[in-house]
Amino acid sequence: MELENKRVLVVGLGASGLSAARLLHRKRARVVLNDVRDAGAIAGLDEAAKETGAELVLGSHPESLFTSVDLVVVSPGVPPLPAIRAAEAAGIPVISEIELASRFVFGRIAAITGTNGKSTVTTLLGEMAKRSGVPTFVGGNLGTPFADAPGSLAADAGFSVLELSSFQLERVDRFRAHVAVLLNVTDDHLDRYEDFGAYAAAKGNIFRGQTSEDFAVVPAGDALCLSLARAGKASVLTFGEGGDACVEDGALVDRESGARVSLDELHIVGAHNYANACAAMLAARALGISRETIEETLREFRGLRHRMERVGVVSGVTFIDDSKATNVGAAVAALAGLEHEPGSIVLIAGGRDKGGSYEPLRAPLAKKGRALVTLGEAAEIVERELGDVVPTRRVRDMDEAVRAAMGFAEVGDIVLLSPACSSLDMYRSYAERGDHFARAARALEEEG
**CA-to-CA distance for 183 and 281, rounded, in angstroms?**
13
Closest residue by Cα to residue 419 from 307, 298, 252, 262: 307
189 is catalytic: yes
- Of 327, 250, 252, 261, the residue nearest 292 (C-alpha): 261
DSSP bridge partners of 352: 422
CA distance 372 to 391: 6
Please indicate whether residue 340 is annotated as part of the active site.
no
Annotated active-site residue 327? The verdict is no
229 neighbors 206 (Cβ within 8 angstroms)? no
Helical (H) or strand (E) element with 262? strand 260-262
Judge whether 428 and 352 are in contact, CB under 8 Å: no
Q: Which of 27, 61, 118, 178 is catalytic?
A: 118
Catalytic-labelled residue, pool 189, 306, 354, 368 = 189
Q: What is the DSSP string of 312-355?
A: EEETTEEEEE-TT--SHHHHHHHHHHTTTSSS-EEEEE-SB--S
Catalytic residue among 25, 34, 61, 141: 141
Q: How far apart are CA 37 and CA 406, in angstroms?
A: 43
Calpha distance 112→122 (Å, rounded): 6
Contact 421, 352 (CB under 8 A): yes
> Which residues are known catalytic residues?
118, 141, 189
